[in-house]
């Protein structure tokens, strides 16, 4: 099997992609979730995931809106192409000399921080180019990707879809990359609840407001089992 290796001094970065012009819920990243922008709540959760550096990667037209929010959350910020999201990741990799990326998206304020930590630990132990759990609720997961693999994608794929969605080129080419895509441990699995934690629509956001209010005083508010338990109590 072909491999892309990042066998050097490890620098793990959380790289969060976000933008303002969502078609289904315009400006959702700035909608207030318990008094703070949605994207800030996402960064607040990701701050519980071990990493050496945290970066918000946004389009150029979002930079002025996101910069003060990123600073408040303790994130660096980098701006690049709106549609070529892969390029934004590669810009971050080169600027901060990153060797491993924990990829997250700005519409997931209820990311399971314990699952994110676990999949990244597994990825590093296996020296995997791409790692991600299957079976998590929509909006609960992250991907752990070697920087070398992302840079290789940038040179090898011309597909607009691959560049917008960042990781398909990796997991569709197992003959090139070392993939680790296990089923999530049972405690984090979605079945049978059909839980939706991402924020793509007004309905999603309204549900997020209710769930966040129910979780915010819970010391385990960023852990998968606590999120699943509260969600099912409220919405099922």
CATH number of 48's domain: 3.90.550.10
3-state secondary structure 107-134: CCCCCCHHHHHHHHHHHHHHCCCEECCE
Q: Which residue has the higher pLDDT, 194 or 213?
A: 213
- Residues 102-109, mean pLDDT to the nearest whole number: 97
pLDDT given at position 4: 46
**1 is a domain residue:** no
Q: For all residues of the chain together, what is the average pLDDT?
A: 94
How do residues 16-42 score in pLDDT, each as one tens digit? 999 998 888 999 999 999 999 999 999
Domain count, the chain: 1
- Residues whose CB is less than 8 angstroms from the CB of residue 207 and which lie 6 or more positions away in sequence, other chains included: 196, 235
**193 is a domain residue:** yes
Q: Is the pLDDT of residue 193 over 80?
A: no
- Residues 151-165, mean pLDDT to the nearest whole number: 93
Report how far apart, in Å, the C-alpha atoms of 230 and of each of 16, 222, 224 are. Answer: 25, 12, 10
- Residues whose CB is less than 8 angstroms from the CB of residue 2 and which lie 6 or more positions away in sequence, other chains included: 175, 176, 177
**5 is a domain residue:** no
**123 is a domain residue:** yes
- Residues 89-106, mean pLDDT to the nearest whole number: 97
**4 is a domain residue:** no
- Residues 89-116, mean pLDDT to the nearest whole number: 97
**94 is a domain residue:** yes
**139 is a domain residue:** yes
Residues spanned by the domain of 24: 12-235
**140 is a domain residue:** yes
pLDDT class of 7 with cuts at 50, 70, 90? very low
Is the pTM for the entire model greater than 0.75?
A: yes
């Amino acid at each position: 099997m072909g491999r892309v290796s990042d066998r050097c001094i490890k620098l793990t970065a959380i790289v969060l992609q976000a933008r303002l012009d969502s078609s289904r819920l315009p400006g959702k990243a700035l909608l207030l979730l318990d008094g703070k922008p949605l994207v800030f709540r996402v960064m607040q959760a990701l701050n519980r995931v071990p990493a050496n550096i945290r970066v918000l990667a946004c389009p150029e037209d979002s930079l002025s809106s996101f910069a003060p929010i990123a600073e408040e959350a303790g994130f660096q910020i980098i701006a690049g192409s709106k549609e070529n999201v892969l390029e934004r990741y590669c810009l971050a990799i080169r600027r901060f000399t990153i060797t491993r990326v924990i990829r997250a998206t700005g519409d997931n304020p209820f990311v399971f921080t314990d699952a994110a930590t676990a999949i990244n630990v597994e990825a590093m132990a296996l020296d995997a180019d791409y790692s991600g759990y299957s079976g998590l609720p929509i909006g609960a997961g992250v991907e752990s990707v070697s920087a070398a693999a992302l840079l290789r994608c940038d040179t090898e794929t011309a597909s607009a879809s691959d560049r917008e969605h960042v990781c398909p080129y990796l997991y569709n080419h197992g003959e090139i990359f070392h993939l680790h895509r296990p089923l999530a441990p049972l405690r984090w699995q979605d079945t049978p609840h059909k839980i939706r934690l991402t924020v793509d629509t007004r309905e999603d956001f309204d549900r997020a407001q209710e769930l966040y209010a129910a979780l915010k005083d819970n010391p385990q508010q960023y852990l998968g089992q606590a999120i699943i338990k509260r969600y099912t109590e409220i919405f099922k």
